Structure 1
Amino acid sequence: MDYSGQYATFVQPVKRIASISLFCMLTGVLLVFAVSPAAAQANPFDLTPRLSAKAKADTLLGTTPVTGNPFDIMPAQPNETSSERILPPPDAGFSSKPVVTIDSRYNRVVFITMVAGLLLLTILITLFRAQLGRAYRAFLNDNLLNQLQREREGGGGLPYYLFYGLYMVSAGFFVFLLTEYFKVPVTDSPLRSLLFCMFGVALFWLGKHLLLTFIRLVFPVEKEVRIYNMTLVVFNLILGVFLIIGNGLFAYGPQTMKMPLLYLLLTVIAGVYLFMFLRSLFSVGRFVSFHKFHFLLYICTVEIAPILILVKLLIET
């Protein structure tokens, strides 16, 4: 007996009814989730891009809205006690310009002067090395000094004048370092103080040369005064080269070594001028024997009086 036809007739309506029932159940569940607002708010993956109007109003009123979403980032609550903005005073703000102090200006002036002095010394030694060697030998020998005097009168004195200018720069810089070390600056500006010191040293020595020229024109000591003028140039030339190195050591040396170094520099300077005075005294020995009063008058007027005047001016300042 064939039951296949009866089985197919029974199973097909049952499958159709089950499919329709499953479709209706799924449609009903989706409608329930779509209509229910509580289910929409409980979705943890719903990220709000901005606050709603109600959340903004609550924030302005000082309350935090509760949405139930753990991924919502709430704005921080303003502090009522610090709601007023405290402005800094007008002079407490940051300025774009660097603050320039007296120490920084002093260090800048010292550095630039040292570099300029070394550069000038290098140029002069490169161009006039032979003349510098001859000046050093004339520093120790009277005959070579007389030879340099004749060379200067013949028109070859330019290298010695340039080295003499270097001495005025280095000596003025040394005086400037002393005024800053002992806290007695000439002016409030380090640059002007340096220029005043250099101008003072140059004025002192030029005034002395002019006075010697006047003595040469008045008294019959023309040859001796010319040699003495050249002696001043040669000795100051050697001292200027020495002071370039001494100034660098005194300016950038440790603070504990500045006073011993100052004593050493002053001793060398005093020794050079004492040696120059003895050399000059031996070269004019015949005038000392026959014109003691005039020689004593010259010593007091030209050699001692200017130094005492400078010392008095420094003490008063």
Structure 2
Amino acid sequence: MARVTAKASLPKIDTSTFATILATQYLPFGKEVEFKLQKDHQANKKEELFYMLATALLLVGFVKIVFPKYFNNMFSLFFQTTLRSKQTREQLLQNKLASLLMNMLFIASGGIYIALVVKLRGWVSVDFWWLIAYASAILAIIYTTKYLFLQFSGWVFNTKEAAQTYTFIVFLSNKIMAVALLPFLILLSFNNGQIAEITYTISIFLIAGMLLYRYLVSLSSVRKDLSINPLHFFLYLCTIEILPLLIIYKAAFNYIGTSI
């Protein structure tokens, strides 16, 4: 009789397909299907604000590349406490296009900053884009009126040189402030909570410091042409600049809050 030898049958491993890969606990094929409900992502919808800030940055870059001498002189002259470089000042005044672009940047940056602060503090419930439009328009009206008033005062009191010097310092500081506010606009636009509060606080101190510096430089420069007492100059700032500015903003935002 022939002897039959029994051999143990070993499981065959399929190496020609992905069976070895599929047979893993991390890919549970063959099990019951599990369903998971998840809420839709709510987008912040800040694309328009992003493009607006990008346009502002591009405008600064355009002025720096196309008018590099103007851009550098603008900063160097601002930090000269006496503004003695009359030649540099005249060069800045002659470049009308660069000055116009920087003034537009100030109106846009100031309008966006005011709108962001108003929304952050919850002072009025108005559409954000209308708020930017109103704030920019108010800034444009205020500084246009201020420019005309200073020119008229210089003509009436025969102090054209002092009026032009003060006007130049005011608008030069506005241009520097427009550039300095851009990083704060980015942080306020895309952050909430504590980061936004810290950014807001630092920006307020920055604006207050630049305004104080502007008034000190203005006083030291105007006193060369006029015999002005510092107390009289302070009273002028309170009655002609600060108080009307606060009244206009208060009335404007009260009107916006009740009409929209």
Q: Which has the larger radius of gyration?
A: 1
| Structure 1 residue 183 corresponds to structure 2 residue 122 | yes
Residue 142 of structure 2 corresponds to which residue in structure 1? 204
- Within the candidate set 121, 126, 129, 2:65 is matched to 126
Quote how far apart the aligned CAs of 1:245 are: 1.4
CA distance change for structure 1 residues 178 and 157 in 2, over 3 Å: closer, same or farther?
same
Alignment of 1:81-120 (within 5 A): 104=44, 107-120=46-59
CA contact (8 A) 1:109 1:191 kept: no
Quote how far apart the aligned CAs of 1:185 are: 4.1
Deviations 1:173-203 (CA, angstroms, capped at 9, x unpaired): 100111221223463x332222111111111
1:312 and 1:264 map into 2 onto residues whose CA distance is 23
Deviations 1:6-65 (CA, angstroms, capped at 9, x unpaired): xxxxxxxxxxxxxxxxxxxxxxxxxxxxxxxxxxxxxxxxxxxxxxxxxxxxxxxxxxxx
| Structure 1 residue 270 corresponds to structure 2 residue 208 | yes
1:161 and 1:315 map into 2 onto residues whose CA distance is 27
CA distance change for structure 1 residues 152 and 310 in 2, over 3 Å: closer, same or farther?
same
Alignment of 1:288-303 (within 5 A): 288-289=228-229, 295=233, 298-303=236-241
CA distance change for structure 1 residues 268 and 205 in 2, over 3 Å: closer, same or farther?
same
Q: Aligned-residue CA RMSD in angstroms?
A: 2.6
Residue 255 of structure 1 corresponds to which residue in structure 2? 193
CA contact (8 A) 1:164 1:236 kept: yes
Counterpart of 1:162, as a letter, is: L
CA contact (8 A) 2:73 2:92 kept: no
| Structure 1 residue 147 corresponds to structure 2 residue 90 | no
- Within the candidate set 98, 104, 113, 1:159 is matched to 98
Quote how far apart the aligned CAs of 1:134 are: 0.4
Quote how far apart the aligned CAs of 1:283 are: 1.7
Quote how far apart the aligned CAs of 1:315 are: 7.3
Structure 1-normalised TM-score?
0.60
2:85 and 2:192 map into 1 onto residues whose CA distance is 39
* Greater RCO (Cα-Cα under 8 Å, separation 6 or more): 2
Q: What are the ranges of 5 or more consecutive residues in structure 2 without an aligned counterpart?
A: 1-41
CA contact (8 A) 1:145 1:230 kept: no
What is the SS of the residue equivalent to 1:287? coil
1:246 and 1:277 map into 2 onto residues whose CA distance is 23
Residue 137 of structure 1 corresponds to which residue in structure 2? 76
CA distance change for structure 1 residues 193 and 299 in 2, over 3 Å: closer, same or farther?
closer
2:123 and 2:102 map into 1 onto residues whose CA distance is 29
CA distance change for structure 1 residues 186 and 157 in 2, over 3 Å: closer, same or farther?
farther
Richer in helix (by share): 1
Residue 178 of structure 2 corresponds to which residue in structure 1? 240
CA contact (8 A) 1:173 1:247 kept: yes
What is the SS of the residue equivalent to 2:73? helix
CA distance change for structure 1 residues 241 and 227 in 2, over 3 Å: closer, same or farther?
same
Quote how far apart the aligned CAs of 1:132 are: 1.0
Counterpart of 1:132, as a letter, is: F
Counterpart of 2:150, as a letter, is: L
What is the SS of the residue equivalent to 2:227? helix
Quote how far apart the aligned CAs of 1:146 are: 3.1
What is the SS of the residue equivalent to 2:218? helix
Structure 2-normalised TM-score?
0.72
- Quick one: percent identity of the two aligned structures? 22
Quote how far apart the aligned CAs of 1:152 are: 4.7
2:164 and 2:171 map into 1 onto residues whose CA distance is 11
1:250 and 1:145 map into 2 onto residues whose CA distance is 37
Counterpart of 2:194, as a letter, is: T
CA distance change for structure 1 residues 272 and 251 in 2, over 3 Å: closer, same or farther?
same
CA distance change for structure 1 residues 296 and 266 in 2, over 3 Å: closer, same or farther?
closer
